[in-house]
Amino acid sequence: MDTPDFRLDGQVAVVTGAGRGIGRGVALLLARAGASVAVLGRDVAVLETLVAEISEEGGVAWPTLLDVTDLESIGSAMEAVLDHFGALHILVNNAGLGANHRAEDVTEGDWDEMMDVNLKGLFFCCQAAGRIMLEQGHGRIVNLSSQAGVVGIRDHAVYSASKGGVNMLTKVLALEWSHRGVNVNAVAPTFIYTPGTAERLDQPDYLAAVLERIPAGRVGTITDVAGAVVYLASPAANMVTGHVLVVDGGWTAQ
């Protein structure tokens, strides 16, 4: 019986929105698993700080600019990664927006802004990286979705629609690309404690309302999500494709 391989030595990974929060944690864990990591985002100073941290741990990382709402930026960033590392094996589509909107209050601007980042930008990152991976005959794409793309959540009409779209894109791309060596999966977290969510989750009443829905009794951590991403990117998940891995402490089991 073979032993599952969770290592990523010799692999080149791209993480979008890598400067903060979940993206930062994913980049760190990918590097610890042995991957060389291209960290992409809009704030070079933040990315360079992350690169320095990965380097101090003995890992390899490299920063480049990416605006997922700009298709030219997407293409240029993926080509820059290929030029720098000579390959692109793993794409983690982490860049995304989150916002609460009552359905009756949603504006066209609200809709377009979120869809441009969470769905349109994600798809064209998949396309740009996917073309490189298909040429190589091997690749792994992990899209960051949400439990809100699996079950409805009040005041999240636009967000839920965008993440539901991510889940379906993941399945379709897996159908089209898996037989050519490119597996495509998604990770769908529950509420995760990050610098961006701390303001809400540090409110006792808000936290209590969230915990009522999570059988595990706690909100998620960045490591909870990053661990799932590393698994799906690793050889241990070779037979996993077209799957949405929900990391929610049981929220969607109800």
The residues assigned a catalytic role are 159
Residue 25 and residue 50: Cα distance in Å, rounded? 10
Tokens of 166: 């991510």
Q: Please, is 251 exposed, middle or buried when counting C-beta atoms within 10 Å of its C-beta (0-12, 13-18, 19+)?
A: buried
Contacts for 183 with CB less than 8 Å, ≥ 6 apart: 139, 140, 141, 174, 177, 232, 237, 238, 240, 241
In the beta sheet, which residues pair with residue 41? 65
Give me the helices (H) in 58-201, please.
71-85, 108-115, 122-136, 157-177, 198-201
Give me the helices (H) in the chain, please.
21-32, 44-56, 71-85, 108-115, 122-136, 157-177, 198-201, 204-211, 222-233
* End-to-end Cα, the chain, rounded Å: 36
Tokens of 179: 């037989």
